[in-house]
């Protein structure tokens, strides 16, 4: 789609001057919560790779069954599957979107490289940072009502391990490009959002 700029949230800028923001951070750090607020204020299109995958599972398709087994174990779905879903969702909105907010992708450095080859380079990565113990506490609480098969103690531990091993290096990768804004997510939701909004406004 485009060319341009930088990702735990990443903002991409395309040839058409659309913007692509990427939001990253560990499971339960508050990405989804902050994305909703960004959508309300800036009107960007929110693409959560996890939500796209869960929609495929909910459809009951054969592919969804395979995905569910991977997600229940807290492992990563193959790169091409997620990238194709994001790309299709972006193409569907390309004409009408003010910009894209990509949540929970890339999960590993290789995914980031493929995203740039097929879609474009981001110009802002919002890194929503919370402590491991905070993320576990939030996810256990969310699990009381989320109905998500992966919000249980055993899978949460695996998701966190994989986050530190595979996903944190993505942040290091984009830090070297100077597009990362680290946001402290231990603060109350509205204060976190104040910092998120400032990072986005600073791009303008």
Ligand X SMILES: Nc1ccn([C@@H]2O[C@H](COP(=O)(O)OP(=O)(O)OP(=O)(O)O)[C@@H](O)[C@H]2O)c(=O)n1
Ligand Y SMILES: Nc1nc2c(ncn2[C@@H]2O[C@H](COP(=O)(O)OP(=O)(O)O)[C@@H](O)[C@H]2O)c(=O)[nH]1
Site string for ligand Y, 116-155 (x = CB under 6 A): ----------------------x--xx-------------
Q: Which does 75 bind (CB under 5 to 8 A by kind): ligand X, ligand Y, Mg ion, none?
A: ligand X
- Tokens (6 digits) for 48: 């959560």
List 82, 192, 196, 199, residue binding ligand Y (CB under 6 A): 192
The stretch near ligand Y (CB under 6 A) out of 2-10, 25-33, 82-90, 155-163 is: 25-33
Strand partners, 128: 183
Give burial (CB, 10 Å; 0-12/13-18/19+) of 164: exposed
State which of residues 2, 32, 74, 112 lies at the interface with Mg ion (CB under 5 A): 32
Q: What is the DSSP letter of 152?
A: S
Q: If DSSP states are collapsed to H, E and C, what string results for 14-43?
A: CCCCCEEEEEECCCCCCHHHHHHHHHHHHC
C-beta of 18 vs 103, nearer to ligand Y:
103
* Among 40, 55, 65, 75, interactor with ligand X by CB under 6 A: 75
Distance of CA 101 to the CA centre of its chain: 8
Euclidean distance between CA atoms 16 and 12, whole angstroms: 11
Please, what is the minimum distance in Å from the beta carbon of residue 200 to ligand Y? Answer: 17
Alpha carbons 16 and 19: distance in angstroms, whole number: 9
Six-digit token pair at 149? 């098969």
**Interface pattern 11-30 for ligand X (x via CB under 6 A):** ----------------xx--
Residue 90 as a binder of ligand X (CB under 6 A): the answer is no
CB 17 → ligand X: shortest distance, Å? 26
- Mark the segment that binds Mg ion (CB under 5 A) among 1-9, 30-38, 67-75, 112-120: 30-38
| Exposure string over 35-71, b if 16+ CB within 10 A, otherwise e | beebeeeeebbbbbbbbbbbebbeeeeeeeeebbeeb
Binding site for ligand X (CB under 6 A): 27-28, 31-32, 49-50, 53, 70-71, 74-77, 82, 104-105, 107, 150, 159
Binding site for Mg ion (CB under 5 A): 32
């Amino acid at each position: 789609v485009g060319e341009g700029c930088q990702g735990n949230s990443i903002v991409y800028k395309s040839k058409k001057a659309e913007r692509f923001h990427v939001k990253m951070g560990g499971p339960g750090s508050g990405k989804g919560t902050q994305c909703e607020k960004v959508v309300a204020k800036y009107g960007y299109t929110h693409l959560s790779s996890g939500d796209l995958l869960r929609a495929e599972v909910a459809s009951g398709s054969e592919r969804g069954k395979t995905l569910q087994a991977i997600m229940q174990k807290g492992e990563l779905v193959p790169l091409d599957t997620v990238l194709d879903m994001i790309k299709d969702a972006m193409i569907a909105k390309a004409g009408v979107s003010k910009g894209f907010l990509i949540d929970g992708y890339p999960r590993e450095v290789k995914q980031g490289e493929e995203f740039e080859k097929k879609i474009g380079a981001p110009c802002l990565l919002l890194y929503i940072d919370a402590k491991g113990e905070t993320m576990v506490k939030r996810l256990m609480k969310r699990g009381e009502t989320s109905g998500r098969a992966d919000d249980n103690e055993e899978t949460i531990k695996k998701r966190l391990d994989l986050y530190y091993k595979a996903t944190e290096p993505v942040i290091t990768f984009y830090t070297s490009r100077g597009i990362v804004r680290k946001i402290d997510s231990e603060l109350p939701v509205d204060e976190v959002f104040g910092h998120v909004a400032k990072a986005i406004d600073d791009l303008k």
